[in-house]
Amino acid sequence: MLRVTVAASVWGSQRKRTICLIFSALLLATFITACGGGGGSGASNPPPSAQSPCNASTSFEFDATGPFCVGTSPYTATFSSGVTKASSRSDYYSSGDYAWYVLNETSATVTFETLPSTLTFFVRSELAATVSDIQVLDENGEMIMQMAPTNILQQVIVNRAVGQTIIGSVVVTSTSGGDVVIDDCIFLIA
């Protein structure tokens, strides 16, 4: 924390405290603005430290039908379809009571306003018989990662190193047998 020191003989202790509070508020506002401000549309953007990357996250704790957007510009993610909803099945969620569902026999795409270098989320298929596919594509549309979710909640982490293409989009397809459930999505812009 940066400290402002003012001689007590010139300024009273109350004025010194007021100057420190104003300076601290301005410094915090600068940090928040640097990464797109506070949360919006169900997202949470914690104030970054001076050396942290900008990020946005959502645990989908809201009701929405796609398309919907999370984050604050320019750090947003748009979900083309699917629904956010609650279920009484706690094994569908990493946290909270809601998740994003890509419905049976549909697909959805997540696109990013500012392309992230890291993406994490939890995923599972609704049933063991669900046939589904997740593809993470880079900024050129080339596949970075592909997986078939199982009916057990698992964490997915995609991290792009310096010099590699960055994440462009995520395509989630539920071909048959049930929904694909995704929770706690975090994307980081380095």
% of residues, the chain, pLDDT over 70: 72
**Residue holding tokens 């809601």?**
98
- What ranges do the domains of the chain cover? 1-34, 54-189
Band of the pLDDT at 47, cuts 50, 70, 90?
very low
Helix residue ranges per DSSP H, the chain: 13-34
Range among 16-25, 52-61, 80-89 rated most confident: 80-89
Range among 39-48, 82-91, 159-168 rated most confident: 159-168
Residue 138: CB atoms within 10 Å: 18
Q: What pLDDT is stored for residue 83 in this prediction?
A: 96
Q: What pLDDT is stored for residue 28 in this prediction?
A: 31
Task: Tell me what the mean pLDDT of segment 10-16 comes to.
Answer: 41
Q: What pLDDT is stored for residue 34 in this prediction?
A: 36
How far apart are alpha carbons 61 and 38 in whole angstroms? 16
Task: Tell me what the mean pLDDT of segment 40-44 comes to.
Answer: 40
Contact predicate 132/180, CB 8 Å: yes
- Better-scored residue on pLDDT, 173 or 56: 173
Contact predicate 151/181, CB 8 Å: no
pLDDT digits (tens, 9 = 90+) for 140-181: 999 999 999 999 999 999 999 999 999 999 999 999 999 999
pLDDT digits (tens, 9 = 90+) for 87-144: 888 888 889 899 999 999 999 999 999 999 999 999 999 998 899 999 999 999 999 9
Q: Which helix (H) or strand (E) holds 48?
A: none
CATH of domain 54-189: 2.60.120.260
Contact predicate 75/47, CB 8 Å: no
Question: Quick check: 52 pLDDT over 70?
Answer: no
Q: What pLDDT is stored for residue 53 in this prediction?
A: 57
How far apart are alpha carbons 77 and 109 in whole angstroms? 10
Q: Look at phi and psi of residue 71 and say left if phi exceeds 0, alpha if psi is from -120 to 50, else beta.
A: left
Residue 159: CB atoms within 10 Å: 13
